[in-house]
Amino acid sequence: MHFAYLGAFLTIAAFAQPAAPTFVPAGFDVPRLHKSSGYQLVPLGPELARHDYEAYMSSIEHLQQTFSMSTRWPHAKLTMADAMKDVEGEKARFDARRSFTYAVLTPDGAKELGCVYVSPSRKQGYDAVVRVWVTKAQFDAGFEAVLIPEVKQWLADRWPFGRVAWVGREVTREAFAALPDRE
């Protein structure tokens, strides 16, 4: 009887998927709010889909040239349904602790100014990759020059990373792509 039970357990265990590793340690308290004098960072999710959509649709060409380096995102044919699907995916990855996307909102939360993405690095030598975009209006107003140093300090103070890659800013896309992959 004991062996039959063990055999059934092993059969079930063979089909079970191992728990996928998370990006940050299990005991790490992922920040859900970061306030500064000119903005706040909050997790991007469905409740912010309209804000997010309006922000990136206001800056299509700017974001294609400064953030995505592609005409694939954003583009004029994106719909609100596309936006909702996107933010639902961002929320799911945040909740699973696989990557963390934050909306950069005005202090009152009424408008999105951009986004901050904190993702695991697939390259050796870096724990995380951080990408940031701001709307064209905010870029022209100099907000990005304020936001990035403050986000760097926030990451250093609150997150468990030893080395963060700012691809396209502190390390070129080409140099980052040429690094060996993590094992």
**Is 128:120 a contact under the CB 8 Å cutoff?**
yes
| Per-residue pLDDT, 175 | 94
Report whether the peptide linkage leading into residue 31 is cis, meaning its omega lies within 30 degrees of zero: no
Structural domain includes residue 166: yes
**Is 70:77 a contact under the CB 8 Å cutoff?**
no
pLDDT tens-place values along the chain, 183 residues long: 444 433 433 333 334 444 445 799 999 999 999 999 899 999 999 999 999 999 999 999 999 999 988 899 999 999 999 999 999 999 999 999 999 999 999 999 999 999 999 999 999 999 999 999 999 999 999 999 999 999 999 999 999 999 999 999 999 999 999 999 987
115: containing domain: 33-178
DSSP state of 182: P
| Per-residue pLDDT, 15 | 41
Task: Indicate which CATH number applies to the domain containing 90.
Answer: 3.40.630.30
CA distances to 25, 41, 66, 182 from 114, in Å: 27, 10, 12, 29
Structural domain includes residue 155: yes
| Per-residue pLDDT, 134 | 98
Structural domain includes residue 9: no
| Per-residue pLDDT, 165 | 97
Domain tally, the chain: 1
| Per-residue pLDDT, 21 | 59
| Per-residue pLDDT, 75 | 93
Structural domain includes residue 159: yes
Cα 31 to chain center, whole Å? Answer: 13
Structural domain includes residue 25: no
Backbone angles phi, psi at 82, to 5 degrees: -60, -45
Structural domain includes residue 8: no
Q: Which residue has the tokens 């901050």?
A: 116
Interstrand relation of 164-165 and 128-134 (parallel, antiparallel or unpaired): parallel
| Per-residue pLDDT, 154 | 97
**Is 99:118 a contact under the CB 8 Å cutoff?**
yes
